[in-house]
Chains A and B, each alone.
Chain A
Amino acid sequence: MVDVGLYNYWAVIVLMMTGLYVVIARSNLVKKLIGLNVFQVAVIMFYISIGKVDTGTAPILEEGIEAYSNPVPHVLMLTAIVVGVATIALALALVVRLYGAYGTIEEDEIAEMDAAEEL
């Protein structure tokens, strides 16, 4: 067995930070949400990584099996995924309404229009 060591956590942190970068650096609102989605999956993956046990198997009771992976992170994360898609849908609905109001989904252009209106 290849010893993964801490590699799993590091790869997940790289994914998380890439998602965060997209959220901060890109001005397109759909692209931001894609970044947020990547960030979210990375966080979920971090929890599942913590729950893994070397010799363990899927947490379904069965005769003759001694070790199971930790079921608690699985429970928390599977509900988080479904909640995640519901909240992403809410964000996408806001994007659609913003497009209706401003005619663009670029954050900087929306900010410029707001600034011009205030003057």
Chain B
Amino acid sequence: MNGGVIDTGLIDMILLAFLVAITWAIVRLRDLFGAVMLTGIFSLISACLFMVMDAVDVAFTEAAVGAGISTVLMLRTLALTKGRSEPHHNRLELGPLLLVVVIGAILIYGTFDMPRYGDPQAPVHTEMAARFIEQSGEEIGIPNIVTSVLGSYRGYDTFGETTVVFTAAIGVFLLLGVPRRGRRAGDALRNDIVLRISAKALIPLIMVFALYVQFHGDYGPGGGFQAGVIWAAAIVLYTLVFGLARAEKIFRRRPLELLVAGGVLLYGAVGVVTMALGGNFLDYDYLASDPVAGQHYGILLIELGVGITVAAVMVALFFLFVRRRQV
């Protein structure tokens, strides 16, 4: 690259070195709370790295999921299991160490046959991806190629992934949905005036931003998955600051459960409608007289379905973990 352009190769190497240092700290640390917080930092730096590698949509998702929702769920699990630190000594164990060194060496040996990082002539770029980049503008008519591939070319895949999210949520419902007696989680943060006021200012902005990410995903980075987790992050913040009782008054259990299923059903329904109109399952060309307009409607609807299910699943999972009482 020419002068004046930021050297992304260097940034890439530095961020990766950070990540290696953080994982090393995770291995050495006996304090579980610290390890969970480090995982959150790990995710945030990963998101920066995805940004450097041009994967803007992935960076979005990782920042909201890794640094936000999964960290909160892990912390809640620690609180429920009274886990503070590991009881055993943290010395390096030779057997597992030998095993991962051998596997790692084999994998590194394998990379010698790979094209170098960033090689434009790598086989992975020349076949399917080249076609998507050249044709999606005409065929689908939206600028964000990631959304075109996600919503239309690989719509089956995305339907499958959404169903997996739904299924995992059913699993957690079954495991943690059983009511039990015990101490209810306190709303300790409610009395902190700085937190309360800044949360009140932030939450509407986060929610509006989530809607923007949802409906602008055709033109810029974004889409249903990202919007869903960002929207859920706003509710998680609300619940952390104002307590579960108030959050559950706004987001009642029954509608939330219906939304978990509703998003997947909307996605599937779009597929059934395209079949009724004479096309294949999820072939949006048939949704309007003009195929490109049909693609627009189709992607808008299925992204909405994805957004609804993902947001509802994340909020429901979080509520289940918080509702669970300590013994």
Q: Tell me if B74 and A93 are in contact (CB < 8 A).
A: no
Count chain B residues whose beta carbon lies closer than 8 angstroms to a beta carbon of A: 111
B172 touching A89 by the CB < 8 A rule?
A: yes
Q: Find the residue from A6, A44, A56, A72 having the highest chain B CB count within 10 A.
A: A72
Which residues of A are in contact with B by a Cβ distance under 8 Å? Answer: 1-22, 24-28, 30-31, 33-35, 37-38, 41, 44-45, 48-62, 67-90, 92-97, 99-100, 105-106
Counting chain A CB atoms within 10 Å of each CB, the highest count among B46, B119, B321 belongs to B46
A86 touching B53 in the complex, CB below 8 Å, given contacts A20-B103, A74-B58:
no
B245 interface residue per 8 A CB criterion: no
CB distance from A109 to the nearest CB of B (A): 9
Interface residues of B, dominant DSSP: helix
The 8 Å CB contact of A41, one of B42, B57, B77, is: B42
A25 is contacted by which of B70, B93, B158, B172 (Cβ under 8 Å)? B93
Q: A14-B104, A71-B132, A82-B165 are in contact. Are A99 and B81 (CB under 8 A)?
A: yes
- Which residues on the A side are within 8 Å of B146 (C-beta)? 59-60, 71, 74-75, 78
Asked if B118 is at the interface of the complex by the 8 Å CB criterion, the answer is yes
Proximity string of chain B (174-195) to chain A, C-beta cutoff 8 Å, 1 when within and 0 when not: 0110000000000000000000
B107 touches A13 (CB 8 A): yes
Q: Which of B205-245 contact A (CB under 8 A)?
A: 219-221, 223, 225-226, 228-229
Instruction: Choose from A48, A61, A81, A93 the contact partner of B66 (Cβ within 8 Å).
Output: A81
Given contact pairs A41-B46, A52-B117, A58-B221, A86 touches B168 in the complex (Cβ within 8 A): yes
15 further contact pairs, Cβ within 8 A, besides A4-B12, A11-B20, A78-B150: A6-B117, A14-B20, A25-B93, A38-B42, A53-B54, A54-B120, A60-B146, A62-B143, A75-B150, A78-B226, A79-B150, A81-B66, A82-B165, A96-B175, A96-B176
CB pairs A–B below 8 angstroms (24 shown): A1-B1, A9-B114, A11-B19, A14-B20, A17-B101, A22-B27, A30-B81, A48-B53, A58-B221, A72-B128, A79-B158, A80-B161, A85-B65, A86-B317, A87-B168, A89-B172, A90-B168, A90-B172, A92-B73, A92-B74, A93-B171, A95-B77, A99-B81, A99-B82
**Pick the contact of A71 from B8, B145, B168, B313 — CB < 8 Å?**
B145
Give the segment of B83-91, B248-256, B265-273, B283-291 that binds chain A: B83-91
**Measured CA separation A70–B42 after assembly (Å):** 24
Q: Roughly how many angstroms separate A94 CA and B17 CA in the complex, as a whole number? A: 34
B residues touching A (Cβ–Cβ < 8 Å)? Answer: 1, 7-10, 12-13, 16-17, 19-20, 23-24, 26-27, 32, 35-36, 39, 42-43, 46, 49-50, 53-58, 60-62, 65-66, 69-70, 73-74, 77-78, 80-83, 86-88, 92-93, 96-97, 99-101, 103-104, 107-108, 111-112, 114, 116-120, 122, 124-125, 128-129, 132-133, 136-137, 143-146, 148-150, 154, 157-158, 161, 164-165, 168-169, 171-172, 175-176, 219-221, 223, 225-226, 228-229, 310, 313-314, 317, 320-321, 324, 327
